[in-house]
Amino acid sequence: MILDLLFPNRCIHCNRIIDGNLPVCNLCFEQIHFTHFNYFENNYLKERCKLLFPIENAFALMQFEKENLSRKIIHELKYKSREKIGKTIADWTIERLDFKNEKPDVLVSVPLHPKKLKERGYNQLHLFTETLSKFYEIPFSHDLIKRNHYSKAQALKDKQHRLDTENTFSISKSISGKHVLLIDDVFTTGNTLSTIAWEILKAGDNTVSILIMAIDV
């Protein structure tokens, strides 16, 4: 209570004092550029993924434009120790994503290397994934995919380094005949998701769909 008075939660965009763990106030929320993609139909994300690997369905919640609000929100989630923003983004996703009667079998989040996980203190995708899992009643796995190499943040890499992901990921346990919904925060080149998707596809008779918080447009 005292900490709330001394350090009230503020909108990351306009600095207005707001309640709870929300990242933005109601007025600034209207400035978020949501994609309005249809998970089951062709969209910009699905078309880009098709160039990299076989994909069933794809959904991106927000546009990740330079200097826009979604970029600030995800930056707070990843680098400012605001893990609870992941639940808020999941709530926004739930309002816009309907699996109908074709739910995937398992939700799988992109892993951090153990060293990076220790540095950050949390994986920014875990609370997001767990919130979706509880609402949609779909099991999740945080350990199906293993990240084999420690590397600096994607945002700090040049394009060539982003493309160099050979042997970065591996499957940690058997999986076959499953429809996997692969979850990440931002889609840029798509190389990370492509590398993981191929590992899942090679592991057995699996199919892959993609869910991301924001797509770089």
- Give the pLDDT mean for 154-174: 66
Q: Domain 33-215: which topology?
A: Rossmann fold (3.40.50)
Q: What is the pLDDT of residues 189-213, one digit of tens each?
A: 999 999 999 999 999 999 999 999 9
Q: Which amino acid is at 146?
A: K
pTM of the predicted protein model: 0.90
Q: Where are the domains of the chain?
A: 1-31, 33-215
User: Which of 85, 25, 26, 79 lies closest to 61, judged by CA?
Assistant: 85
Which tens digit of pLDDT belongs to each residue from 56-106?
A: 999 999 999 888 899 999 999 999 999 999 999 999 999 999 999 899 999
Average pLDDT over residues 23-29: 96
- Cα dihedral 76, 131, 41, 154, rounded to 10, equals 30
Strand extents, DSSP E, 43-92: 58-63
The encoded tokens of residue 113 equal: 């290397």
Contact 206, 173 (CB under 8 A): no
